[in-house]
């Protein structure tokens, strides 16, 4: 997720090019455009760009192209959600404003301070933007801090302006603070969630609480990076912090963040690495910091690390990842916590664990959207101002808003998948659980047998999976680049189907995979996907999980496999809410690889499964007898016209694949500060079936900022290859002032593979 001058850092209008070099059969899949939304803020209409992914093919460099493989991947908002000044994300200007006896207070005038310095103990000053309710100088109010590195001056300006007015107009001050070394703040930023950043957060909370306009009660909120550091700072227990709201967050930096997936190297590692370089290394604005801007910029350029190399040097759950992983000490968080996510966002996965393990007053909400805010989703969104103001006024002002009288968890129960439903809304309903885990939810075991999925174990039987086929093209991203119809991958996997369902079956929670598995190599992994096969034969992804088998006992100290030996493996799949419809079948598909979501194993692997000891447990939820009241106003946008179907050519023998996602630079003009900002990127993933170390990930990105004679730009590149024993990583960063290059650096490293 990053925040940049573009609407989404996955290049929402990007072209994805997927190439194959062999003939195949035609298959039709329905494509879906990226639709982020449209809303009204402060009487002014603003549209989020609608961008469509389109497949284009071109010959690859290895041998002549016999047949093109076209595969369209719908795109969603990506990690570090990108919002610009052109993007309106506000909640409610008018509409439902009350629940029970509580109502939103009458709107107040808002006073905005564009910039104020907040000094840290070591002398570094952080830049903040303030939104205060008029009159707070005489009658102090509580405050909410959002503390992220995504350039409040430009990249997040639209979001901050909209949300600052929403909170402040309802009696809650909003403080938007650039992390040290980012945006207009002094200092340097060398990694995510490092010690200075978290300490600064605690100091900033104390500073806010001490201001004459503040009542002394402070809340902390944020999405993605902001959601993660919200949990981390809360665990440090700043005295003035009274409540938090974490959206799109993580409780474990190794097992549930952008870097590693089940102990395997994740593609999002590179995607976020390139974003780190081109967002964090951007220049401060001279209109804010004055003539020192260039010296500050050069300082942060010099300090920008080869970040992908850093992450690759920590391939296990070591002390590097343990720092900031709140799951290691649930009791450290001592303030009321509201957790928010979307089913299309992998960062919703920690919500169940946090609700189960935190001991403070807590709530959770999971909607049918991706890695974005509830009010920015499309076509269904929520009037989040109403809900968030209720939360803050309850915990920061002691007001009886009724929010804590409601169920602990609210979730949308989808009756279809996101891609299956596009462009229309996902059908479904809002449900609630008074506590989590819910006693009403019981596991249903589906046993893997030669006859398919059954309620009882089958006879002794060993099934084999040869990992020389590329599986994963229909689910290319860990985050929320939406998966398409799954048949292309199912046919290359070991698949098991249930009988036709004679009734609707709803699940809510974490499916569990239980496998007795062996491999013919010392390093291997396994991927498990659960799909719904509808009556027309199409397969739609419901949940999945991936596990590096060397991490079967520990993510901290993995151990090599003994070839041919069977191991009992138990691991959770991603948290999900879904209704399997009457007339459908449930499919479980198992493969060794999931590319390009995860890097391939060092050698081609053959897996064996002892099927009489293999099953998947589904968390089955009985349907409630009566509809559950949902107090948050729901908004509906008009769905766009359905695009025409397109053609997919399926390979039938080993092929060479290339996926290219392009998002050419698009300029955004921020009229109120007379600044033009842009960002573009290009992602390339390549692999040849049957060749374990033929993989390539290459990401290139650019950013620019201009106003008058202030003209700055950045370009960066990260490329990853491997041998059976090493990762080969190249990183570069170049900065220009006008036409003149003022900084350039390239690094190369060979990093030993640690059972990855």
- Stretch 272-301: mean pLDDT, rounded? 95
**Three-class DSSP labels, 338-403:** EEEEECCCHHHCHHHHHHHHCCCCEEEEEECCCCCCCCCCCCEEECHHHHHHHHHHHHHHCCCCCH
- pLDDT above 50 for 563: yes
- Average pLDDT of span 665-684: 93
CA 461 to chain centre: 39
- Segment 4-17 shows an average pLDDT of 31
Least confident piece of the model among 193-197, 235-239, 377-381, 635-639: 635-639
- Return the pLDDT at 230: 99
Residue 609, pLDDT above cutoff 90: yes
Residue 28 neighbours by CB under 8 Å, 6+ apart: 645, 646, 647, 648
pLDDT in tens, 201-217: 999 999 999 999 999 99
DSSP 58-90: ---SSS--SS-----------SS----TT----
Residue range 403-419: mean pLDDT, rounded: 96
- What is the 8-class DSSP label of residue 332? G
Reduced to 3 states, what is the DSSP secondary structure of residue 487? helix
Q: Is the pLDDT of residue 199 over 90?
A: yes
Q: How far is CA 736 from the centre of its chain?
A: 31
Spatial separation of the C-alpha atoms in residues 607 and 626, rounded to whole Å: 46
For residue 481, what pLDDT is reported? Answer: 60
Closest CA to 474 of 69, 173, 104: 69
Please give the Cα distance from 272 to 126 (Å, whole number): 24
* Rounded CA separation 632/421 (Å): 23
Instruction: Decide if 735 contacts 741 (C-beta within 8 A).
Output: yes
Q: Could you count the other beta carbons within 10 Å of the beta carbon of residue 106?
A: 9
Q: Where are the beta strands (DSSP E) in 36-171?
A: 38-41, 44-47, 54-55, 98-99, 102-103, 110-119, 125-133, 141-148
Residue 723 tokens read as 């041998």
From residue 171, give the alpha-carbon distance in Å to each of 204, 218, 361, 372. Answer: 20, 13, 23, 25
Q: Does the pLDDT of residue 73 top 80, yes or no?
A: no
Alpha-carbon distance of 86 to 47, in angstroms, equals 7
Average pLDDT, the chain: 87
Do residues 382 and 426 make contact, with C-beta atoms less than 8 angstroms apart? no
pLDDT band at 14 (very low <50, low <70, confident <90, very high): very low
First to last CA, the chain: 25
The whole-number pLDDT of residue 587 equals 99
Angle at 283 between CA 281 and CA 288, to 5 degrees: 140
Three-class secondary structure of residue 716 per DSSP: strand
pLDDT in tens, 103-147: 999 999 999 999 999 999 999 999 999 999 999 999 999 999 999
> Does 440 have pLDDT greater than 50?
yes
Q: Would you say residue 527 has pLDDT above 60?
A: yes
Give percent helix, percent strand, percent coil of the chain, each to the nearest 5.
15, 35, 45
Residues 309-324 have a mean pLDDT of 98
pLDDT for 353-371, tens place per residue? 999 999 999 999 999 999 9
- Which tokens is 321 given? 């990842």
pLDDT of residue 96: 53
The CA distance from 581 to 583, in Å, is 6
Tokens of 718: 């990260």
660 CB-near residues (< 8 Å, 6+ apart): 15, 16, 17, 18, 682, 683, 684
Instruction: List the one residue out of 324, 331, 326, 327 whose CA is nearest residue 195.
Output: 324
> What predicted TM-score, i.e. pTM, was given to this entire model?
0.88
C-alpha–C-alpha distance, residues 705 and 284, integer Å? 10
679-689 mean pLDDT = 91
β-pairing, 264-265 with 260-261?
antiparallel
Give me the residue label for tokens 């990690």.
79
Confidence of residue 625 (pLDDT cuts 50, 70, 90): confident
CA-to-CA dists, residue 1 to 10, 15, 45, 193, 268, angstroms: 8, 19, 25, 15, 10
Identify the pLDDT of residue 654: 66
Q: Which residue has the tokens 């998948």?
A: 417
**Do residues 73 and 51 lie in contact, with contact meaning Cβ atoms separated by under 8 Å?**
no
Question: How far is 110 from 131, CA to CA, in rounded Å?
Answer: 6
pLDDT above 70 (res 695): yes
Q: Is the pLDDT confidence value at 335 over 50?
A: yes
Q: Indicate the SS3 state at residue 214.
A: strand
What is the C-alpha to C-alpha distance for residues 230 and 223, in angstroms, rounded to an integer? 9
Averaged pLDDT, 221-242: 98
Q: Mind listing the pLDDT tens digit for each residue in 384-396? A: 999 999 999 999 9
Largest CA distance in the chain: 77
pLDDT reported for residue 480: 61
Task: Give which of 346, 375, 268 is closest to 36, Cα–Cα.
Answer: 375
Tens of pLDDT, residue by residue over 344-354, are: 999 999 999 99
Burial 453-469 (b: 16+ CB within 10 A, else e): bbeeebeeeebebebeb
Residue 465 host element (H or E): strand 462-466
pLDDT at 655: 85
Return all residues near 345 (Cβ < 8 A) that are at least 6 apart: 76, 248, 369, 370, 371, 372, 479, 480
| Phi, then psi, of 270 in degrees rounded to 5 | -70, -40
Gap between the Cα atoms of 630 and 484, Å rounded? 30
Average pLDDT over residues 25-39: 26
SS3 225: helix
Homologous superfamily of domain range 442-620 = Galactose-binding domain-like (2.60.120.260)
DSSP characters over 543-565: EEEEEEGGGSS-SSS-----TT-
pLDDT at res. 640: 53
Tell me how many degrees the CA angle 524-528-532 measures, rounded to the nearest 5: 160
Contact in structure between 421 and 380 (CB atoms under 8 Å): no
Question: What's the pLDDT band for 81 if we cut at 50, 70, 90?
Answer: very low
Phi, psi of 558 (to 5 degrees): -65, 155
Counting Cα atoms < 13 Å in the Cβ hemisphere of 342 gives: 29
Report the 10 Å Cβ neighbour count for 360: 14
pLDDT at 12: 30
Q: Report the pLDDT value the prediction gives residue 467, as an integer from 0 to 100.
A: 93
pLDDT digits (tens, 9 = 90+) for 468-495: 999 998 887 777 666 889 999 999 999 9
């Amino acid at each position: 997720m990053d925040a940049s001058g573009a609407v989404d850092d996955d290049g929402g209008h990007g072209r994805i090019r997927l190439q194959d070099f062999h003939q195949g059969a035609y298959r039709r899949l329905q494509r879906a455009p990226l639709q982020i939304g449209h809303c009204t803020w402060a009487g002014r209409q603003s549209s989020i760009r609608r961008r469509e992914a389109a497949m284009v093919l071109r010959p690859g460099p290895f041998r002549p192209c016999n047949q093109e493989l076209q595969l369209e991947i719908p795109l969603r908002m990506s990690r570090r959600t990108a919002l610009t000044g052109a993007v309106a994300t506000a909640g409610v200007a008018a509409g439902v404003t009350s629940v029970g006896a509580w109502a939103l207070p009458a709107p107040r005038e808002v006073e905005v301070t564009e910039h104020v310095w907040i000094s840290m103990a070591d002398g570094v000053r952080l830049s903040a933007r303030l939104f205060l309710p008029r009159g707070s100088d005489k009658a102090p109010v509580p405050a909410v801090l959002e503390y992220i590195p995504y350039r409040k001056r430009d990249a997040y300006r639209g979001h901050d302006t909209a949300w600052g007015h929403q909170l402040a107009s309802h009696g809650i001050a909003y403080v938007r603070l650039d992390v040290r070394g980012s945006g207009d703040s002094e200092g340097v930023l060398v990694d995510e969630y490092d010690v200075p950043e978290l300490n600064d957060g605690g100091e900033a909370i104390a500073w806010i609480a001490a201001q004459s306009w503040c009542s002394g009660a402070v809340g902390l909120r944020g999405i993605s990076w902001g959601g993660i550091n919200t949990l981390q700072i809360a665990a440090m227990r700043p005295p003035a912090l009274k409540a938090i709201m974490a959206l799109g967050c993580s409780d474990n930096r190794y097992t549930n963040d952008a870097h590693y997936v089940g102990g395997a190297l994740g593609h999002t590692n590179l995607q976020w690495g390139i974003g780190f370089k081109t967002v964090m290394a951007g220049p401060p604005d001279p209109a804010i910091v004055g003539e020192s801007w260039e010296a500050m910029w050069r300082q942060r350029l010099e300090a920008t690390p080869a970040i992908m190399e850093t992450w690759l040097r920590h391939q296990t759950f070591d002390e590097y990842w343990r720092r900031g992983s709140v799951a290691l000490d649930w009791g450290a968080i001592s303030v009321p916590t509201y957790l928010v996510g979307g089913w299309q966002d992998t960062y919703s996965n920690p919500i169940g664990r946090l609700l189960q393990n935190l001991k403070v007053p807590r709530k959770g909400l999971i909607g049918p959207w991706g890695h974005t805010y509830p009010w920015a989703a499309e076509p269904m969104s929520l009037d989040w101002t109403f809900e968030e103001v209720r939360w803050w006024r309850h915990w920061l002002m002691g007001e009886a808003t009724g929010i804590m009288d409601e169920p602990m968890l609210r979730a949308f129960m989808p009756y279809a998948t996101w891609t299956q439903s596009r462009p229309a809304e996902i059908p479904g309903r809002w449900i609630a659980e008074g506590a989590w885990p819910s006693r009403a939810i019981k596991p249903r075991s589906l046993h893997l047998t030669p006859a398919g999925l059954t309620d009882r174990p089958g006879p002794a039987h060993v099934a084999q999976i040869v990992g020389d086929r590329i599986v994963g093209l229909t689910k290319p991203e860990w985050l929320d680049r939406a998966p398409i119809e799954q048949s292309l991958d199912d046919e290359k996997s070991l698949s098991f189907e249930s009988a036709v369902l004679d009734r609707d079956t709803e699940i809510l929670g974490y499916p569990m995979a239980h496998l007795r598995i062996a491999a013919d190599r010392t390093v291997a992994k396994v991927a498990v996907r659960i799909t719904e096969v509808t009556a027309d034969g199409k397969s739609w992804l419901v949940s999945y999980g991936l596990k590096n088998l060397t991490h079967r006992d520990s993510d901290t100290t993995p151990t090599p496999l003994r070839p041919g030996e069977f191991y009992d493996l138990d691991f959770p799949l991603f948290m999900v809410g879904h209704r399997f419809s009457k007339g459908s079948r449930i499919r479980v598909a198992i493969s060794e690889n999931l590319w390009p979501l995860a890097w391939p194993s060092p050698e081609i692997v053959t897996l064996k499964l002892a099927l009489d000891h293999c099953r998947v447990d589904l968390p089955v939820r009985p349907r409630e007898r009566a509809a559950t009241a949902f107090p948050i106003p729901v908004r509906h946008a008009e769905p766009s016209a359905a695009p025409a179907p397109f053609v997919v050519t399926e390979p039938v023998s080993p092929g060479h694949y290339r996926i290219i996602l392009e998002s050419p630079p698009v300029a955004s003009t921020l009229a109120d500060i007379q600044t033009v900002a842009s960002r573009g990127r290009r992602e390339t993933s390549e692999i040849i079936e049957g060749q374990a170390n033929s993989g390539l990930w290459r990401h290139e990105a650019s950013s620019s900022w201009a106003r008058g004679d202030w003209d700055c730009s950045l370009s960066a590149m990260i490329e990853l290859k491997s041998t059976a024993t090493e990762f080969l990583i190249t990183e570069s960063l170049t900065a220009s002032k006008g036409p003149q290059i003022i900084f350039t650096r390239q690094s190369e490293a060979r990093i030993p593979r640690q059972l990855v």
